[in-house]
Amino acid sequence: MLSGCMGAGTTDGQDADDAEATTVINNYYNNTTTIIPDYEVFAAIGLGESHEALITVNQSLGEGIHLLDASSSGWNSGEATPLRYLSVYTNCTNGMWWEIMDTLDRESPVNQWLAGAGAVCTHELQPYDTENDYDETLSVVFERRAVTVV
């Protein structure tokens, strides 16, 4: 029984074939697959005074922020009260800006994309109640997705 290489020479695969010897190619191919997720899911919690941004989300070029869930409450004298609105202030480096207010009504907002998808933007999220001046909490779940600007 024979094993191993037979012949007189070895090569790195770059040299011309030698008809008189066996050619062994010593190249190594890394077959590792890197999986890049389509999106990442994040949760954020903010606590602060009434009428201030409690959570800031920075968006990179080629990204879109998809808001999946949000809930908020305010408290005064030890009593928690659900807040009615979520305000999102978006400022992008290209000079564009948006202000969006969504009704919470004790339920999460319908999942939505924040304005400015694809651009470099900062989104400031703030719970809001028109009738009261509470200290506030805000909890959100969102995902970052790659987007193509056309």
Element of type H or E holding 56: strand 55-59
Integer Cα distance of 120 and 62 in angstroms: 8
First to last CA, the chain: 64
pLDDT over threshold 70, residue 26 = no
Supply the pTM of this predicted model. Answer: 0.67
* Structural domains in the chain, sorted by start: 39-146 (2.60.120)
Asked whether 113 and 28 are in contact (CB, 8 A), the reply is no
Residue 120 in tokens? 């470099």
Select from 71, 140, 55, 141 the least CA-distant residue to 107.
71
Select from 28, 66, 111, 48 the least CA-distant residue to 57.
66
Q: Give the model confidence (pLDDT) of 94-117 as tens digits.
A: 899 998 887 765 555 567 889 999
Integer Cα distance of 28 and 71 in angstroms: 53
Conformational region of residue 105, where left means phi above 0, alpha means psi within -120 to 50, and beta covers everything else: left
pLDDT over threshold 90, residue 134 = no
Query: Across the chain, what does the average pLDDT equal?
Result: 76
